[in-house]
Each structure stands twice: as C-alpha cells, then as structure tokens.
Structure 1
Amino acid sequence: MGKRSTWMLAVATIGIGVWVGSSFTTVSNASSQLGSADDPVVTKSYVDQQIQKALGGNLNSGASNSSSGSSANNNSNTSSGTKNNSSSSSNNSSSSSNTSNSNTGAATGSSSNSASTSATAKIDIVELRPGKTLIAKAGTQIIVRHGNATVYSDGTNGIVDVTDGTDLGGNQAITNNHLLLFPRDGRGVMVTANQTSNATLMVIGSYDIQ
C-alpha cells in the first residue's frame, strides 16, 4: 500500500513538471513572435503619417486654412481699429477747432459790444449861455436838464420830441427832461439873449456851439 502511494505521487510530480514546462514554452514562443511581420511594432510618427495619407493631406491643409483665416481676421481687426482711432482723432481735432472758433467769435462779439457801448454811452454836459446856439449833427440826442431853451431850425422842419412823440418847430419852447432827436444837420437848441441864466444840456452825439 505504501509503495503504491509513493508511485502515484511520483507520477503526479512528473505530470506537474511537464505542464509547467509547456506553459513556459508557450509564453516564450508568444514573446518571440512580438514585432514580427504578422504583428509589427510601429512608432507614433508612422501612425500619423498613415492617417495623413488616408485623409489625403486634409489635416495639414485644414490647419493651414485655419491659421490663414485667423491671421486675416486679426489683420482686418487691427486695420479697422487703426481706422477707427484715426477717425476719432480727426473728429476730436475738428471739435477742438470748432470750440476755438466759437470762443474766438464770442470774444470778438464781446469786444464789439463793449466798443459799441462805450461809443453810445459818451454823454457831454453842456452849459449853454444866453445868446448861444448848439447846432447838432444828424442823429444827435439832447435832453434839457435845467433852464429855458428853444428849438433852432433853419427851415420849417424841426426836431423830434421822443418823450411826447411830437415834432417841435423853430423857436418852440423845449420841455425840460424830454428826449430830443435831431434827424438832420443844421438844427439845434438856443438860449435867447434875454435869459438871465444858462441852460444845462445832456448831449449824446456830435455838435457845434455858435
């Protein structure tokens, strides 16, 4: 009985050894077949080249078109931005020029108004003695502030009493503090010789005293 068990154990050991040996042989054979013509080992560059050939070169062409389109868009946007900046600068220059002209016009207008006001604001206070006559130029304005005075005229026409809105003829008495307007040369205001005091006149414009 003991001999039979020993023999069976020996057979089993030999069988296991044979199986293990065949397994190593199979693995070795499989390893020796890697990279053969039936199962070659290839690189990434080879795979990319084959894909490029299969696509007919469209991969690089698409990338080139994309780059060209991007560059064109960038150039277009840059040019557009430059034009807009130039236009904005031109508008700012025009606005500055208009502002300068407006200020110049305002200053000129202000100077003209000031000069006009100074010219019309000149008032002479004249003390007209008895027997004297003030001959006014056309457009002169006179107000008799004090004393007795009459209209002097070399014709039938007289002067305008602006306060009353009436005409005054020659030798007609003048009411004090009324504004008188002389439409033409040769007419004026006189103080008769029989008066005992001067007449005080406010005169705006040109005149002569005779």
Structure 2
Amino acid sequence: MNQVKKRMTTFLICGTVIMIGWSLISGTNLLHAEPGDSQDPLVTKSYVDEQIAKLNGGNGTGTGSNPDNGSSSSNELKIVTIKPGQQLIAKAGTEFVIRAGKAEIFSSDASGVSDLTDGKDLTKGMDVPSNHLLMFPRDGRGIVAKDTPKNSVVVTVRGGYEVQTVKE
C-alpha cells in the first residue's frame, strides 16, 4: 500500500507541474507570437523617427537652410560661417556655439544674450567665448564677426537665424 501511495503522489505532482507549465505557455501565447503583434512588438527606425518628430511638433522633414538667403528656421544643428562685416541674427529661442573665430554680441537694445555655460548675461559689444552655449531669448539679437584679418567665425546653430551685412 505504501508503494501505491508514493506512485500516486509522484503521478499527481508530475501531472500538476505539467498542467501548470502548459497553462502558462498557452496562456501567454509565447509559442505562437507573430512579429509585430502585441505579444512580440516590432519597432522600426522610421516609426521611432516619426514619434520623435511628433514630440518635437513637426512632421520629421525639417526645413533646412537655404544657402541663397543665409537663413534657417530648422531645429537641427547647422554649421554657419560668417566673415568680418557680417552678423548672425537669431530668432527667439535659438542657440549658438562659437566653434572658431572671434565675435562679439549684437543687440538692438540694452539687454543681452544668455551664456548658459557660465550662467552669465552677455551684453552688446562683449566678446563671445568659444565653445560656450548661447541662448537668444528674443528676436533681433546675435553675433558680429570681429574685424580682424582672416577672421571667419564658425558657429553651430540650432533654431532660426539670418545672416546679414553689418549696417554702419
């Protein structure tokens, strides 16, 4: 009788383990998941790009810069070069980083530009430090290339801008 009880207990335990295992596998459909369905989601690069563009409020195409008139309103980083006698005027919210050359702040009023790297306000006529992130809170402010021989100012720009000739 003792031998029969051991066999029945073993049979019941094995049967229970098999039934629990089968119900877990069939309940979650792990064996039958198709790529892209809710059990095995598939995300493509184009889908991620589209979602990011929606978060940024655009359609993902960007506007780019127009080399003919020297302006842009895109949110991507642009490399812009200005020469002595030119100024780079920012739209509100635009960010600049001077990568090479010497420039100074231009502003149509007494207020200035935020130097986010140092946490300071740069006002009209002040030199712009290289490799500092500048943020322009309002339209009509920017940088002017200094009048030194062979000075070209290379700037990375994110946001809207316009290249103009300095008005004397």
TM range (shorter): 0.5 to 0.7
Aligned-partner SS, 2:162: strand
Residue 131 of structure 1 is matched in structure 2 by: 85
1:101-130 per-residue CA deviation (whole Å, 9 max, x = no partner) reads xx7xx99x8432255396686111111100
More strand by share: 2
More helix by share: 1
Aligned-partner SS, 1:113: helix
Matched, 1:153 2:101: no
> Which aligned pairs between 1:67-106 and structure 2 lie closer than 5 A?
none
Structure 1 residue ranges (4+ consecutive) displaced by more than 4 angstroms after TM superposition: 117-121
Aligned-partner SS, 2:51: helix
Task: Measure, in 2, the Cα distance between the counterparts of 1:131 and 1:191.
Answer: 7
1:195 to 138, 148, 152: 148
If you compute each CA radius of gyration, which structure gives the higher value, 1 or 2?
1
Task: Measure, in 2, the Cα distance between the counterparts of 1:201 and 1:124.
Answer: 8
Q: Which has the higher contact order (CA 8 A, sep 6+)?
A: 2
Q: Give TM-score, length-normalised by structure 1.
A: 0.46
Relative distance call for 1:162 and 1:155 in structure 2 (3 A) is same
Residue 169 (structure 1) shift: 0.2
Task: Measure, in 2, the Cα distance between the counterparts of 1:199 and 1:176.
Answer: 10
> Which aligned pairs between 1:1-210 and structure 2 lie closer than 5 A?
110=48, 111-114=50-53, 116=56, 122-192=76-146, 194-196=147-149, 197-210=151-164
Paired residues, number: 108
1:72-95 per-residue CA deviation (whole Å, 9 max, x = no partner) reads xxxxxxxxxxxxxxxxxxxxxxxx
Relative distance call for 1:175 and 1:155 in structure 2 (3 A) is same
In the alignment, residue 148 of structure 2 is paired with which amino acid? Q
In the alignment, residue 158 of structure 1 is paired with which amino acid? G
Task: Measure, in 1, the Cα distance between the counterparts of 2:51 and 2:92.
Answer: 23
In the alignment, residue 141 of structure 2 is paired with which amino acid? R
Unaligned runs of 5+ in 2: 1-36, 63-73
